[in-house]
Amino acid sequence: MDLEMVSYLSRLGKLSFTDEELKKTAEEMTSIIEIMDTIKEIDVEYNAFADNKNVYLNNLREDASEASMPTEKILQNAVNSKNCFVVPKVVE
């Protein structure tokens, strides 16, 4: 995997790397992708209709409103002010 691809993936993942870290990561990712590539040997097709057999997605609760967590609990792990999350300026 080249440096350009690692930079692209890190932008997608909102990660930042120094040049040195980027180089090391590219080497590690190349070895990791080599193992992943072994699945190219086998010819199998994914059947979307046959899926969800293993994962239960149908037990959703009724779409009804109910009491939610109090604001102070939601903000307790954040930098906050006046009952709001504080973020850097987003509009110039």
Partner 1 sequence: MDITKLKIRDMRTLLDSGEISVSELTHSYIDRIKKYDGSVKSYITVTEEHALESAEAAQKKIKAGNASPLCGIPMAIKDNICTDGIKTTCASKMLENFVPPYNATVMEKLNEQNIVMLGKVSMDEFAMGGSTQTSAFAKTKNPYDLNRVPGGSSGGSAASVSASLCAGALGSDTGGSIRQPAAFCGVTGLKPTYGRVSRYGLVAFASSLDQIGPIAKDAHDCALILNAVAGYDRHDGTSSKNPAEDFTAKIGMDMKGVKIAVPKEFYGEGIDKEVADAVLKAAEAYKQMGAELIECSMPSLKYAVPAYYLISSAEASSNLSRYDGIKYGHRSEIGENFNELICNSRAEGFGSEVKRRILLGNYALSSGYYDAYYGKALALRQKISAEYDSIFEKCDMILTPTTPSVAYNADENVSDPVKMYKADICTVTVNIASLPAISTTCGYNKDDMPVGMSIIGKKFDEASIIGAADAFEKSFAYKAPEMV
Q: Rounded to the nearest 10 degrees, how much is the dihedral formed by the CA atoms of 67, 76, 17, 31?
A: -50
User: Considering the complex, what minimum distance in angstroms separates the CB of residue 83 from partner 1?
Assistant: 14
Residue 84 in contact with partner 1, rule: CB under 8 A: no
What distance lies between CA 41 and its chain's CA centroid? Answer: 28
Nearer to partner 1, 8 or 23 (CB): 8
Distance CA 51, CA 67 (A): 35
Question: Contact, 47 vs 53, CB < 8 A?
Answer: no
Work out which of 19, 20, 55, 68 binds partner 1, going by CB under 8 A.
Answer: 55
82 touches partner 1 (CB under 8 A): no
Residue found under tokens 């209709």: 49
Using CB under 8 A, list all residues that contact partner 1.
1, 5-6, 8-10, 12-17, 25, 28-29, 31-42, 44-47, 50-51, 53-57, 59-61, 69, 73-74, 76-79, 85, 87-90
